[in-house]
Amino acid sequence: MEVVKLNSSNFEEEVLKCEKKVLVDFYADWCGPCKMMSPVIDEIAKTESDKIKVCKLNVDEASDIAGEYGVMSIPTLIFFENGNVVDTVVGLTSKSDILFRI
């Protein structure tokens, strides 16, 4: 499964109303650590799609949502379940750490 690109108009439908656990990668195009994290996120989207839906949200394009979830540093990974935040990781992390949290 491919990574779902989020914005202010599809966030509720894609994340909050999703039946599966959802991982949202809050990032920006200019962010070096975000670029380093991106291949890991893409790989998880392909290999773990049976367990989790993987999404990306550009904080420059949807700053309202980033603010709503208190994203102050990027990359920030937020895990949602049944529309609720269940876990958060700020900064670079390993694939194994993300898989552990799924």
* Digit-coded pLDDT (tens) for 36-74: 999 999 999 999 999 999 999 999 999 999 999 999 999
Total domains in the chain come to 1
Which of the following is catalytic: 6, 18, 22, 31?
31
The model carries a pTM of 0.95
Three-class DSSP category at 29: coil
| Burial (Cβ within 10 Å: 0-12, 13-18, ≥19) of residue 73 | exposed
Query: Domain holding 83: CATH number?
Result: 3.40.30.10
* Digit-coded pLDDT (tens) for 13-25: 999 999 999 999 9
- Structural domain of 75: 4-101
Phi, psi of 49 (to 5 degrees): -65, -20
For every residue of 65-89, DSSP letters joined together read: HHHHTT--SSSEEEEEETTEEEEEE
DSSP one-letter code for 93 = -
18 annotated active-site: no
Which of the following is catalytic: 15, 18, 22, 34?
34
* Digit-coded pLDDT (tens) for 26-36: 999 999 999 99
